[in-house]
Structure 1
């Protein structure tokens, strides 16, 4: 396998994981009353999934997660990152009242997209108590 083939295989594995993660995130959010999820498929202009609480127009969570390459070959995608970023801008014109990362890790402890989604949703629930 050439380096180009390795990179292509790695990229395809990452893209497949991203799609499974977005589906898992939407399912995990459905299990929490009042938590909503918009994925990039629903809002491609946003560029990343978004979580928000019913009736809370003040802010939202931006979600990033993905497999991390730990070297070569492509079979080394053994870690997943997870970021939950909260922004609150009630005036709509900045500066942000709150700009926080309730979860930001380069190693979520698993590469299972359902478990990473559950971790992110749990972090959002925990963060909700501070709003």
Structure 2
């Protein structure tokens, strides 16, 4: 069974409360439960508002998980450090954004993380997490 780390960046702990017109009413706990219900792998969910913590988790994943699904939040647009950590990870990376970042403010149109990701899912709402897991489960090594 595939081991998958699902990382969530800043402010995603407020999912369901923060700007529901952009991000919907599901909480991060709801997203986790719906992803686990797919039974597509051994899933580890983590969220942090701190860039260094996300980097530490990415580094710890080296050699221990097969794939990372990451919603880096605002760090998508600012963090070369997260990109560098992902570049040192040997497995698959899927970047997820709940909103369509290309329909938002111009500064959100560029993601450093996208340079490493095999797939980028934006604008599907929280379904993007489940789509990422289905894609990982259906790809060959």
Q: State the TM-score, normalized to the length of structure 2.
A: 0.38
- Structure showing the higher helix proportion among its residues: 2
Tell me which structure has the larger Cα radius of gyration. Answer: 1
- Structure showing the higher strand proportion among its residues: 1
Question: Higher relative CO (CA 8 A, sep ≥ 6), structure 1 or 2?
Answer: 2
